[in-house]
Structure 1
Amino acid sequence: AYDVLRDHGLNVISYIKEAWGNLCRSYLVEARWFYGGYTATLDEYLQNAWVSVGGPGAIAHACLLLGPPITKTSLDSIKTSSEPIYWSSLITRLSDDLGTSKAEISRGDVAKSIQCYMMKEGVTEDCARDHIKGLISFSWRKLNEASVRSLHPKSIITMSLNMARTAQCIYQYGDGIGTSTGVIKDRLTSLIVDPIPIK
């Protein structure tokens, strides 16, 4: 934050504090649901979950501390949780839920989007998973539309698109940690460890 103040003349502490405050508040909502035995509706869950996945905070930190030159416009984009950040975070959350919800529920976590939809609509898990996949497709359309017509800085749009892409890649086969199928480990090994053959 000091470097941003020195280099750009902008104090970003309030933006970082707000991102962390929003994340902590979303965790508290989930804790209340869990300890109260409450299963949220899908809409209630998604209103909170797009923040609890950490996307807005991650993009805020990336933009403020790692990104290209910071402007007042980019700060305002972060503060208002722009459409690209919202849709990207929603894709991240829904992809996470598809890849890890079974393991997280068995560990005693709060109901995820799949369970929220199943409980309120009275459908099977397969039907709920199909619905969540449909929401991901819808969210991608909205993210692409927002990216094309957005007045937000290109850096915010690029970070939002990349976060959604990365989430879908990571959660396609679990999360690589708690629900590993070995695919993520193989991908990381191929990317970081294995030498690239030069012929």
Structure 2
Amino acid sequence: MTKVMILTSIIDDFYDVYGTLEELQLFADALERWDITEINQLPEYMKVCYREVLNVYNEMEELMRHELGAPTSNNRRSSSYHIQYAKEGMKQLVRAYLVEAKWLDKGYTPKVEEYMPNALISAGYYSLTTTSFVGMGKMVSEEVFEWAMSEANFVRASAIICRLMNDVVSRKFEQERGHVASAMECYMNQYGLPEEEVEAELNKQVEEAWKELNKGLLRPTAFPMPILMRVVNLSRMIYVLYKHEDAYVHSNKKTKEHITSLFVHPIPIS
């Protein structure tokens, strides 16, 4: 999971900052084919990342087979569909990144209705959710992956929290650097609203998404609680990172303090 998050961050930087549109198309095409021979089509700076993406998912599959014991038709199929859904999540994410790169290249600000479906994918939480399920064993059926990939309300709420909190706190820095329009720009452009009103509206939508998560935890569900908690904990992580500022990009401030408080100055338990 950690390796996938690191690779996701690197790929995000390719699409946000470093890559030309032609290079980004090549990377997306190579990932769709998921074949090491495609590496020869990529520019040098992308090759290491592409190779590691393939290696990490291969490593995940090998670990799953080891945990499941001697190969049987059942556990071989289990490890296979776990990894296939995780791979599809990564492919879906890169497709969304490419859409945003094309918007930025054209200087295009989409309407909210066009922006949000793609932005919820590019937030990365559908991909990370499916990856977080890998290795949870028989608890995670194929139906669980289908539920996550279908953008069910519970998982969608997590993606909304991630996307909108990110867009609110990161807006000024990203627009100064040159970035695809965020939800803030889309709302302001489409409805002619001032920044303060749009920010209040997006924060309201984040609150509603938290209510959706709480509702999903309180009502009966077909899936075990550990499945749901993976989704909730990803949302909690984003809340910590984006509550007051973009503590992911500017990690030498709040993020450093959080890490220090956890591992350097932990709370004593007597």
Matched AA of 1:2: E
For residues 263 and 138 of structure 2, the distance between their equivalents in structure 1, rounded to whole angstroms, comes to 25
Instruction: Report SS of the residue matched to 1:194.
Output: coil
RMSD: 2.2
For residues 108 and 117 of structure 1, the distance between their equivalents in structure 2, rounded to whole angstroms, comes to 18
The equivalent position to 2:145 in structure 1, one of 72, 75, 82, is 75
Q: Aligned pair in 2 of structure 1 residues 65, 107: CA closer, same or farther (>3 Å)?
A: farther
The equivalent position to 1:159 in structure 2, one of 196, 215, 230, is 230
Query: Once the 2 structures are TM-superposed, how far is the Cα of residue 67 of structure 1 from its aligned partner?
Result: 6.9
Matched AA of 1:40: P
Matched AA of 2:259: L
Greater RCO structure (CA 8 Å; 6+ sep) = 1
| Structure 2 gaps, min length 5 | 1-60, 69-74
The equivalent position to 1:32 in structure 2, one of 102, 109, 120, is 102
The equivalent position to 2:255 in structure 1, one of 180, 184, 189, is 184
Matched AA of 1:124: P
Contact 1:40 1:116 in 2 (8 A): yes
Query: Once the 2 structures are TM-superposed, how far is the Cα of residue 167 of structure 1 from its aligned partner?
Result: 0.8
**Match of 1:168?**
239
| Structure 1 gaps, min length 5 | none
For residues 156 and 213 of structure 2, the distance between their equivalents in structure 1, rounded to whole angstroms, comes to 8
Q: Aligned pair in 2 of structure 1 residues 198, 103: CA closer, same or farther (>3 Å)?
A: same
The equivalent position to 1:21 in structure 2, one of 88, 91, 108, is 91
The C-alpha deviation readout for 1:64-98, integer Å capped at 9, x for no partner, is: 13577432332332332332211101111111112
TM-score for both structures, normalised by structure 2: 0.67
**Match of 1:62?**
132
Contact 2:133 2:227 in 1 (8 A): yes
Q: Aligned pair in 2 of structure 1 residues 68, 131: CA closer, same or farther (>3 Å)?
A: farther
Q: Aligned pair in 2 of structure 1 residues 192, 175: CA closer, same or farther (>3 Å)?
A: farther
Identity, in percent, stands at 29
Q: Aligned pair in 2 of structure 1 residues 177, 18: CA closer, same or farther (>3 Å)?
A: closer
For residues 37 and 47 of structure 1, the distance between their equivalents in structure 2, rounded to whole angstroms, comes to 19
TM-score for both structures, normalised by structure 1: 0.88
For residues 127 and 196 of structure 1, the distance between their equivalents in structure 2, rounded to whole angstroms, comes to 40
How many residue pairs match? The answer is 199
Q: Aligned pair in 2 of structure 1 residues 67, 95: CA closer, same or farther (>3 Å)?
A: farther
Query: Once the 2 structures are TM-superposed, how far is the Cα of residue 156 of structure 1 from its aligned partner?
Result: 2.7
Larger radius of gyration: 2
